[in-house]
A and B are shown apart, each in its own frame.
Chain A
Amino acid sequence: MTTPSAAVGTAQDAERQPAVVEVREVTRTFGPVTALDGVSLSVEPGQLVGLLGPNGAGKTTLLSLLSGLRRPDSGTVRIFGGDPRDPAARASLGTTPQETGLPDVLRVGEVVELVARHYPDPMPTGELLERFALGDMLRRQTGSLSGGQKRRLAVALALVGRPRLVLLDEPTTGLDVEARHELWSALRTFHSEGATVVVTSHYLEEIEALAERVVVVGQGRILADDSLSRILATVARRKVLVSLDEAAATELSVALPAVSAPAREGDRFSFLAADADALVRQLVRSGLPFSDLEVRGASLEEAFITLTQESR
């Protein structure tokens, strides 16, 4: 099997290695819903990229384009320079089944074997299962595994073929803290062996633990693409709740930079602020009558809403 375009030199002697992932101006709609809206993204070999965004942001659609499951309406998607719809381009790709959906009646060993047969140099089943603490589950039917075991097996399947690009969609959803940390450590080990990893999550904690580069996706567009530390600074917001009259709330939000428009929440107004201290100081200094003040960390979802509004 050959790839359609002519290979100019091997990966080793090419001075500039081509991107592992190259997405250009991709749009994809599902009926009236625009899942991706002119998205461009390039991932270099060896990167560990976190795709962060609320549910419905377009993360899963983007992964389904990269794994060849779906076609973009317009724009181009390339992995290793080839079209992922072409099986040959997927020879170095590893993905996981969603929602821990494994064939109930097949044994763990049989599922791993099935996947392994598709790759030229698969990891030995025993070694793979050991890595994911599933060593003694070889002969168990997958239907009898616990949720955490299923999730680990699903991620293990992504690594069976020693892929050079791994796509993981919400890999640790539903796992307890300990299992989550074990899985992260297995993924970091695999990345340190040279693989490129793209992982989606709507948990900031997961992205913090894994990613070096973070791409924030919202409403089908890329809102931010930067190093982990800079993204953390951007999305780290505080939520300030306070009871005061509407005119005063508006006045307060425009008086300071990086404060969201007030939103009514019960009988209080809420603000998202990069610097909550400054907001409170301004509130007190203004002499406006207020009561019921509360300051707490904003959820990631709330932070995304501000990012989305700011990018307009």
Chain B
Amino acid sequence: MKTFEKAGRATLLATGLAAAMGLSTGIANAAESVIMAVPTFLTGAGAPAFGVPARNGAEVIIEAINKGTLPAPYDKSGKGLAGRQIQALIYDESGGGVKQVAEFRNKVQKQGVDLFVGYISSGTCAAITPVAEELKMLTIFPICGTPRIFEEIDKTPKYVFRTMGHATADGVAEALYVKANLPDVKGYTGINQNYAWGQDSWRDFDLAMKQLMPSVPVSDKTQWPKIFSGQYGAEISALMLSKEPLVHSSLWGGDLEAFIFQGSARGLFRKKQLLFSVADTSVYRLGKKAPAGAILGARGPYGIFAANIDTPLNNWFRKVYQDRYSVPPVGGSYQAAQGVLAAKFAYDKAAAANGGKFPSKDQVIAALEGSTFQGIAAPVHMNRSNGHQAATKHMIGVLQWDKEAGGPIMTKVTEFGPDCVMPPPGVNGTEWLKGGMKGAKC
């Protein structure tokens, strides 16, 4: 049986034509299987850092679900989703919101997709959310970072879920870490991409710092390079000339790596303390070129932060992933796999409640809403936004190079509970931060 369909442009075109002609597109036994669309960046700048690792993580988990080889706590849950095999339709997320909305409609209305587990870009998720609700399509976002999905775009979702924390948790965890580990810091500045993710990241970190360390001055010249600009000479000069010793950055992918190359050559990391929100995606690839001493996050217990989490599921995932792709799993791998696990958990739980019969979509949704399931490396609590937004523990640490192991490691790691870094249920993240983070359980 053909399990994975990796679609490039040509394949997508062929798929579209075939669908238009009423032909099967490799999804032959749809009635006896669950068709899971997995959109992720397979081309473009988002592919190396997030898209391809996410695809890889999803592939590993889907294959194990279909074979029934997942370790505990899923070792007794049988094969597939509620007994039905997953037929994964993995396709490219590139092209922007308009194209992805068209693809979404096409997959739902012409190809009979049962659920979506995917999307990486905050922009795409924002565009897809209202359409998923309109089409009543179960959609699980495993990665998108912007808090706006359930705080602005749809405050009462029924069909859309997100199975990881959002950018507010990054900002709070980072500020808490700075307060605990750099109590005498003389000021902070930042360099973040000038789009939704970069702006949200800086806003939340800045608001959290203003609450936790109100006397620490913030620069009035934080840097806002264009996404994918790749050239940071002037920004690095400005950061080096600034008097603030701490630099916050949510750069990712090629932008992050270019910034590290250019900054290293100019001694930026010797002169300033860098704090990277999501740099875990690059540390294995960069090896010794990754800036030792930088503070890193991964929006949860993912990637390098999960390297020492000793559970059967995590140990199995890391080994299978490493053996298959010859690199350790990074944040995107974990997060995508976690999204697929959410589907596994929800279908099986719904089937059990349905007397062992295959559940309806509404039953699956009811099973996932407000639940707690085991992610790859930590429990995932679906207890925000009416049970549609996840909260997980958060981890921040300092990157170092382990000479003996010959690889990067995280040191001085601090864990933050989900109720410490995520706004309480029903509370808008920005308002929560401005109001002094009331109700935070740290």
Bound pair: A and B?
A: no
Query: B-contacting residues of A (Cβ < 8 Å)?
Result: none
